[in-house]
Structure 1
Amino acid sequence: MAKPQILTYIDAGTSDGTARLMRMIGQQLLPGAYEIRAVMADDLRHDAALFDDAALFVMPGGADLPYCAALNGAPNARIRRFVEQGGVYLGICAGAYYACRELAFHAGTEGAICGARELNFVDAVAVGSLPQLTGGVAYDATPRSATATEIRTTHSLTAAPTTLYAHYHGGCRFDFGDATNHAARILAVYTGIEGNPPAIVSASVGKGCAILTGVHLEISERECKDALRGHSDMAAHLHVCRKLARTGEARLAVFRQLLAHAGLLLG
């Protein structure tokens, strides 16, 4: 009998940290229980058996527009059908923006990226980036606009609310507007923004569910340092790694809880 598969998208738009994400997920799982597989857009278009043994589809951080260019139409329909039939979608940062009803990235600015998205797993607007968390520094692809931000989990994710630092780099908050009866569960909130908006959410989609996170729980102090190596201003950003180290055990525990929320067996 084939092992259940963890499928992770690695095609155009995904960040350099995707390999680290795959490794971090694999390290938390019950040994030998799953096969971790990298997936390209062509697999989603042409591999008829791709989702036959899949338990989880991971859309990592990176850039939303290349995801749209490669996956709009039939590939997105396959992802949605997989979830509706009982699968789980885990969207991180750009993968979270991509799975909301619509996104508003830097709305009102020259480089704004706004509009509806096909997956529409969560009936919310994904709003970002969040300069309130970065001291007003605008998002770019360098570590300059990354930080360690404080989030607090809710009872929907952990038995008792847990406050911890998580890596943030251009991610979103989830705006449900005036809706008070939305179907999404709020798993964690940003404590550094007025009103404590949602930072991590999940929602039922048919027989399956989607889990979306604006922060990178998979990034530890060590991964933070690895990402900084080779940058001329590495020393100026080590404070981010030090913050992550302060709540490293809690961050890992919450990351594991997120995987358990996805129905995975942990080691």
Structure 2
Amino acid sequence: MVRRKTLFVYEGLGGEELCVQRLCSCLGEWAEGTSFKVEKIHPEDILKGGWQERSALMAFPGGYDSGFLQTLGQEGQHMIREYVASGGSYLGICAGGYFGSANIEFDKGGPLEVCGARKLKFFPGHCIGPVFPGFQYGSTLGAHAAIVDIGSSEETKTFSAYFNGGGKFVLLEPSPDVQVVGSYAEVGDKPAAIVLCEVGEGRAVLSGVHWEFRGADLDAEDPNLEKIIPLLEESEKKRRSFVSVVMKMLQL
């Protein structure tokens, strides 16, 4: 029986407000009727410690991962790494996915370039993005309804997920600890969009797409989103099923 019942969502520098809200709502919807509960956790509380005994999940939202690095430093990252390796679970979406990879290449050679090694290393390869062009911080110019191939059954083989700046997960050599959960169906070599990583006794799911978002969560008055929202709404049933799949992967 699981004793840890709190699903923690990082809130602080680097976490985009809407992404934090939507991740909390998504996890809360899944947890309805269970004994799990969702709580936001600030970087100073992570560094203080004590959360590990209550945590069933540590989730990092979209935003920018350099903010996570700034607030948590090596100590905070080490605490999270140790928590997962000792049997905990980590969920990283978009920026949280970059953060959980060994190396990131974001807009390499471009004006928004952020490249370098990361300490968590749940995914022992590179997270490279944005996969689709046009991304700008604080904007929906690069937003896209990404078709994700999860190949689990004919009914849920593909679904459309909100995308805005996320990466693809690339291994330089095969790893027995990594399972590709979903791929970018529209991109030439169909790179990994979502991965499940075995980390010691724990698990991490990293995602380049925002499957925590419903079409209804986006601004219908935004011209950049008017063609995206209907595609997401068509996939809503599949999206909700996929949330449950991810929670099972995270041993929840």
- Tell me the TM-score normalized by structure 2: 0.93
Residue segments in structure 1 that go unaligned for 5+ positions in a row: none
Name the counterpart of 1:95: 96
Deviation (angstroms), 1:63: 0.6
Aligned in 2, Cα 1:263/1:2: closer, same or farther, shift over 3 Å? Answer: closer
Compute the RMSD of aligned alpha carbons.
1.9
- Deviation track 1:4-61 (CA, whole Å, cap 9, x = no partner) reads 1111100111012211210121111252411211111110111x32111211000111
Name the counterpart of 1:110: 111
CA contact (8 A) 2:151 2:158 kept: no
In structure 1, give the amino acid aligned to 2:183.
V
Distance in 2 (CA, whole Å) between partners of 1:108 and 1:256 is 38
Q: Which moved more, 1:187-196 or 1:240-249?
A: 240-249
SS at match of 1:137: coil
Name the counterpart of 1:202: 196
Name the counterpart of 1:146: 143
Spell out the pairing of 1:36-115 with structure 2 (5 A cutoff).
36-46=38-48, 48-115=49-116
Deviation (angstroms), 1:160: 7.0
Deviation (angstroms), 1:183: 2.4
SS at match of 2:210: coil
Distance in 1 (CA, whole Å) between partners of 2:52 and 2:4 is 12
CA contact (8 A) 1:60 1:93 kept: yes
- Is residue 222 of structure 1 aligned with residue 240 of structure 2? no
CA contact (8 A) 1:107 1:113 kept: yes
Distance in 2 (CA, whole Å) between partners of 1:194 and 1:50 is 42
Q: Which runs of 4+ in 1 moved over 4 A?
A: 158-161
Residue segments in structure 2 that go unaligned for 5+ positions in a row: none
- Deviation track 1:123-163 (CA, whole Å, cap 9, x = no partner) reads 110000123xxxx42443211211111010044xx697611
Distance in 2 (CA, whole Å) between partners of 1:245 and 1:258 is 20
Name the counterpart of 2:16: 15
SS at match of 1:148: strand
Distance in 2 (CA, whole Å) between partners of 1:37 and 1:139 is 29
In structure 2, give the amino acid aligned to 1:90.
L
Deviation (angstroms), 1:254: 1.0
Deviation (angstroms), 1:256: 1.9
- Tell me the TM-score normalized by structure 1: 0.88
- Is residue 29 of structure 1 aligned with residue 23 of structure 2? no
- Deviation track 1:184-214 (CA, whole Å, cap 9, x = no partner) reads 1000000110010000001111100110000
Q: Which moved more, 1:107-116 or 1:52-61?
A: 107-116
The structure 2 residue matched to 1:256, chosen from 233, 244, 247, is 244
In structure 2, give the amino acid aligned to 1:37.
E
